[in-house]
Chain A
Amino acid sequence: MDELIYTLKQQIIEALNLEDMTPEDIDENAALFGEGLGLDSIDALELIVLMEKNYGIKLQDPNQGKEIFKSVAVMADFISKNRTK
């Protein structure tokens, strides 16, 4: 799981152009949206693409995103249970 979390952080940094961040800068339990990293609606859509592209998980309803993208840890947990890649 640690490896998945680390990889996921790297992928998020790349997909969302978080230029000045390293995986060490991201707290996997901190909120991704709202406070924390302060991501916005386009970032949320980009994370949906990331899930499908890297892990083969298709989210039909974008509102599911609110729960799944709470934090990197929550995301990693969801991915490990639902990945097809």
Chain B
Amino acid sequence: MIVKVSDNMISPLGMSTAENYAAVKAGRSELKRHDGLWNLPEPFTASLMHREAINEMATQYHLDEAYTFFEKMIILSAAKALEPTDIDPSSEKVLFILSTTKGNVFLLDKHETGFPQERVRLGMAAKQMTDYFHNPNTPIVVSNACISGVCAQIQAMRELESGHFDYVVTVGADVQSVFIVSGFQSFKALSVEPCKPFDANRCGLNLGDAAATIIYTRKDQVEDTDWVAIRGVIRNDANHISGPSRTGEGSYRALRAVLGDMSPDKIAFINTHGTATLYNDEMESVAIERAGLSNIPVNGLKGYYGHTMGAAGILETILSMQAVDDHTILATKGFETLGVTHPLVLSNQNQKTDKRAFIKLLSGFGGCNAALLMAKGGEL
């Protein structure tokens, strides 16, 4: 079985999983309005890293100006996840998988001349990480839009099942830029206020910087306290390249397949994509209802971090694991009144739970959807 060994998150809310979980449980967020940042004509709300703090920490890890900010984030997160383990990252039995949508895309700006253009390539950015750890294996980069973080975990599970590797370091990250923000603004998909997932007055998403890492291994005997990645499923809407399917086709099929023979009664919550756009949240409510899972509590974490894109699937999975270990269903920050067609069990207050499994659900451009089922070893 595939089991979590260690994890880390670096975000504007903290440099460790523990710091982040504490902040989220206390209801904090670094979502702020930015006017004129990067000379963008329209304001936007985002949760952005304090770059000086990261650059300072990076020097302690010998990450200097030869590394882009994105590369520093991924290497720092991987390094911190590796620290408490006795894994040798230079071993050929260790694989690195990177989940990102745009990597070093800022280098496409003509005025950015500090790095060779080849670093725009996601494989080259990932290679900065594997070279840092002296790892001999070609890193795999998952670039599957916003579901990349769950896809990367599914790839890790498959690599471990096949026995090719003993450990997979799964890192997800994205750093905001003019490229990304202006693009979402052209879609009129951004809310200038902090986002309101599933709310009747929701009006769009916020963006966020983050890096998150989960290290997985394969174990024949699983402890009660182990976190087991049971199953991951990816399905497509086959409908539109950027708009979600009105029938939640892919999301529904992913949910239906991911449960397998686990009883829905064991599921503490479904942690949704919940971007707070009109269409996404409505679509997820349709999918959950079609899958017969409307009675299971649902939550969304983008009210704390915004949409962290390549990091989201990993970051939100880590927080969900922390929450279950803390017997908690984290509040959906930003939610007030239900604004989707199908009733869902949602709250803007932390709730208690004694259940020990959850589903992580995501959707992304290209009509793709992914679901991941995680449970404590004792549930199996």
Contacts and interface: CB of A to CB of B under 8 A. Distances in A.
Chains A and B touch (C-beta atoms under 8 A apart)? yes
Interface of A: 40-42, 45, 48-49, 62
Secondary structure call for the B interface: loop
A42 B240 CA distance: 10
Contacts, number: 11
B187 interface: yes
A45 B269 CA distance: 36
B117 interface: no
A45 B240 contact: no
A42 B188 contact: no
A41 B243 contact: yes
B242 A62 contact: no
A49 B186 contact: yes
B185 to A, nearest CB: 10
Given A40-B240, A41-B243, A45-B186, 5 more contacts: A41-B242, A45-B187, A45-B188, A49-B186, A62-B188
A43 to B, nearest CB: 12
Interface in B166-198: 186-188
Contacts of A48: 188
Contacts of A49: 186
A45 to B, nearest CB: 6
A45 B189 CA distance: 11
Interface string B236-256: 000010110000000000000
A18 B140 CA distance: 38
A45 B183 CA distance: 11
Rank and list the top 8 A-B pairs by shortest CB-CB distance, nearest first. A62-B188, A41-B243, A45-B187, A42-B242, A45-B186, A45-B188, A49-B186, A40-B240
11 contacts: A40-B240, A40-B243, A41-B242, A41-B243, A42-B242, A45-B186, A45-B187, A45-B188, A48-B188, A49-B186, A62-B188
Contacts of B187: 45
B278 to A, nearest CB: 11
- Considering residues B186, B188, B240, B243, which has the most beta carbons from chain A within 10 angstroms of its beta carbon? B188
- Considering residues A41, A48, A49, A62, which has the most beta carbons from chain B within 10 angstroms of its beta carbon? A41
A42 B242 CA distance: 8
Contacts of A40: 240, 243
Contacts of B186: 45, 49
A49 B188 CA distance: 11
A41 B188 CA distance: 11
Nearest to B187: A45
Contacts of B240: 40
Interface string B252-285: 0000000000000000000000000000000000
A41 B244 CA distance: 12
Contacts of B242: 41-42
A48 B186 CA distance: 9
